[in-house]
Structure 1
Amino acid sequence: MSEDIAQDSAGFAVRARIDTTTPHSARFWNYFVGGKDNYEVDREIGEQIKGIFPGLVDVALTSRRFLGRAVRHLAGEQGIRQFLDVGTGLPTADNTHQVAQQVAPDARIVYVDNDPIVLAHAQALLTSTPEGETAYLDADLYDPEAVLRAAAETLDLSRPVALMILNTLGHVADYERARDLVRRLMAGLAPGSYLVISDSTATSEGMIAASDAYNSSGAVPYYVRDVEEIAGFFEGLELVEPGVVRVPEWRPDAAAAGGDESVDAYCGVGRKA
């Protein structure tokens, strides 16, 4: 066990007990995108999975780039000024608030996670431009109404919000429950709001084997889904072109051009009418 200093939702210092003997999804993903907030146990399973399926590194990196493109599109082309990022994970480079406020300095961002490891690093997410605002909520995806109530202290939910749920829904084992959680979050947002999702998919034997290996490591399981199931999260929404596609294919920019088109992760952006 290790201890990290964290901030609770009221801003007071708390001490989070961190298990360094078992792999952890946020630290594991942090390792794959080149972060430094991980432990030997996370790097070991990371290297093991690289041996099984090297393509998972591409999933991590291209998914991170999709976040940037989606946020720039919504802030720059659609005029969105509010972002609700659920399942934040550990901060790395180009976090949601950094991308959004680079485009729109007055953007307001609320991060949501209930993981003590993420909480211990939350202070890194609480920077903001003077014109905007960034907040962190210690709240649970499984209680969408509580998430919305707390987010309303920073965001104006009568105005459009971009709901970001990136590489998170795989932790919800039951697909219909995952869809229900997404529906309940979107139900509390104003017309003109957007849903942004990306997730690993069961689109190759390598990805399925990597998922099985990770789920056998003692970490909280993560379930990869079919592409049709990813598309199902957008039911009732207007899909933004090009629809539900592999992450390198969603509005690629020059930096993303030539990316691996076989990446086993799909994404989409949908608008609430």
Structure 2
Amino acid sequence: MTTNAAPGAGATGRDIQLYDALTAEQAEEVLDLIDEAARHDGQSAVSEQGRLRLRGGHREGVAHLLVHDADGHLVGYAQLDGADPVEAPAAEMLVRPGHRGRGHGRALGRELLNRSSRRLRVWAHGGHAPARRLAQSLGLSLFRELRQMRRPLEDLNLAEPDLPEGVTVRTFRPGEDDKAWLETNAAAFAHHPEQGALTQQDLDDRKAEPWFDPAGFFLAERGGELVGFHWTKEHADEGLGEVYVVGVRPEAQGGGLGRALTAIGLRHLAARHLPTAMLYVDADNVPAVTVYERLGFTVHETDLMYRTEG
């Protein structure tokens, strides 16, 4: 673990420290901060991937910035992911609700710009107005729009899925299917900066989560080869079933497999008596948005990503 203080730390009543790994105690403190802010904002400022990276020690390319006030209280957090060899580093950040409006967010944003050599992408989950204003004050421009879409499951009336010829569907076998799934996921999302880069450690992190259930992880095969999948997720406390990720290998796209897999997963979630289904999709992924709209999904909220120019 390494730490570095921000230039001039303490002179403005705050201290920003950079870590390449957090202790278990630091991770729990940050998770508590994230939860407190989520209850206040109605939306988590840190994604599932970001929360998983808080634990387990060093992750290649990932850094954590902790902001403490003059009394030593944790008032802000940011995570900087510079693992992508092509894209600019991506960040997520938040300030404790009771300590906003005191310049902590702007100071944290400037530190992220410095640490990334002014090549930066920042998520504003929920697209709230204060986050938009902060992005603009840091000279960042809107780059990406990620939509959360939802539909009720009580009235789900989908016909039996029509699979392409020669395709069969079964559920995921942990340990046996890991390698084939990672390869298929990388092929299906070669264009996607987060999903397509998932590693065995990322998969293992998710398999260790309480929500993981291979019975809701569907694999499509043709000729013994994996060609697509639909991984569902249950948020039981919120009454939500998630279309967590649907992927189809490029050579198997265009034949209706993605729609069929989506329907299989939705039928599974409805059978689990979850009242609502949700999913995330990039706004510019018109084919996927069209499929989901035809399945009855509508936009619930939007996450925005901002970036430096150039």
TM-score band w.r.t. shorter chain: under 0.3
Task: State which structure, 1 or 2, has the greater radius of gyration over its C-alpha atoms.
Answer: 2
More helix by share: 1
* TM-score calculated relative to the size of structure 1: 0.25
* TM-score calculated relative to the size of structure 2: 0.23
